[in-house]
Amino acid sequence: MQIDCILILSAGLGTRMGRIGQQLPKALLPVFEKRLLDIQIEYAKRLKPKTIFINLHHHSGAIANHIEQNYNSSSPPIRLLFEDPILDSGGAIHNLKQELAPSSRCTLLTLNGDQCVFFKNPAILQNAYEHSSEYTSVLLPIWVQNSKEIKYNQIITNDNELQDIIKSDQVETEGPFMTYSGISFIRLDKLNHHTGASRFFDTVANYRQDIVRVEPIGKDDFEYWDFGTLANYYRSIYQLLNYYRHRQKTSSLLVELACDIGLLDESKIGTDATLCYNSFNGSICLNGLPITREQQVKNRIITIGDEKEENFNRGNGIAFESIFEQVYTI
């Protein structure tokens, strides 16, 4: 499998991260010793593309500085695509095509910047890649189930081809169903030319005008981590730490990657029954910033910046500088 390029879609507006998202781009959210974008880059590197692209909009300068400081001599090379105005996921892919030789054969793999999806069987990605020679777009789905807190769009297929998309508020299926994972193989040379902002299912995987393949996948064939909202980020941080602490008994592909790239520092992990991450001076924290043991155990607060003491009297949540965002679920 030779992937020509990978596009990490990171040009969001930060609106789903509340007031914190106005100050800190989602791509730079701390995940223990690294940033969320670092996880995606390290995963992309393991797929050995010729080039990694990252599209940017919100706080693009901060993200560009992070890339320059940490990946200046990266192999494969990392190229940044600045968007102003924002182009949406469809427009981002067409913009990338224009950056390359538009008529040359090129197989692109897309990754969502705020979600981590790992396929347990390497044959799933391999099969999707092979089918990309026959289709303009090949989508990788995952199985999900709607709840009061999280809702997904449902994709409808027939003979592994996309037929329809049901909006999340109209899904009637009570059990698990398929949704698009954000991962797809796109043959850029087969795309019809489009300029400006556009949606993915309008100008890239337009199933109304083209045949779009959906690669079959079993309900237990993947691992899915969502960092895309405050609540999901909060939940995933705690779950990842829990999985890491019990990695001898619990299999997790993200934990395996975490071990490889130094995502967590073993010496900072607490030994008691609470989910805590020990930082310098004996304090306890998540994401490398200290809070006291009492605050951590009582309120289950994640800090991602220099926090003020009074922030910790308000229940579960995320503190960043002078901002505190309440999180009601974990």
**Across residues 215-223, what is the average pLDDT?**
97
SS3 278: strand
**Across residues 10-15, what is the average pLDDT?**
88
Domain 5-226 has CATH 3.90.550.10: yes
pLDDT tens-digit map of 148-198:
878 999 999 999 999 999 999 999 988 999 999 999 999 999 999 899 999
Q: Rounded to an integer, what distance in angstroms lies between the CA atom of residue 113 and that of residue 158?
A: 29
The reported pLDDT for the residue numbered 329 is 55
Band (pLDDT 50/70/90 cuts) for residue 50 is very high
pLDDT tens-digit map of 235-257:
888 888 888 888 877 889 999 99
Backbone angles phi, psi at 220, to 5 degrees: -115, 20
Least confident of 46-50, 244-248, 326-330: 326-330
Is a pLDDT exceeding 70 seen at residue 121? yes
The reported pLDDT for the residue numbered 284 is 34
Cβ–Cβ < 8 Å for 4, 187: no
The reported pLDDT for the residue numbered 33 is 83
The reported pLDDT for the residue numbered 97 is 95
Band (pLDDT 50/70/90 cuts) for residue 145 is very high
The reported pLDDT for the residue numbered 104 is 74
The reported pLDDT for the residue numbered 280 is 37
Is a pLDDT exceeding 90 seen at residue 105? no
Share of the chain above pLDDT 90, in %: 60
Helix (H) / strand (E) element for 42: namely helix 36-46
Rounded to 10°, the helix 253-261/230-245 angle is 80
**Across residues 37-41, what is the average pLDDT?**
97
**Across residues 21-29, what is the average pLDDT?**
88
Residue ranges per domain, the chain? 5-226, 230-326
Closest CA to 181 of 163, 194, 200: 200
pLDDT tens-digit map of 268-281:
776 554 556 654 33
Q: List, as one string, the DSSP characters of 97-149.
A: HHHS-TTS--EEEEEETTEEEEESSHHHHHHHHHHTTT-SEEEEEEEE---SS
> Please, what is the average pLDDT of the chain?
86
Least confident of 36-50, 77-91, 311-325: 311-325
The reported pLDDT for the residue numbered 160 is 98
The reported pLDDT for the residue numbered 112 is 97
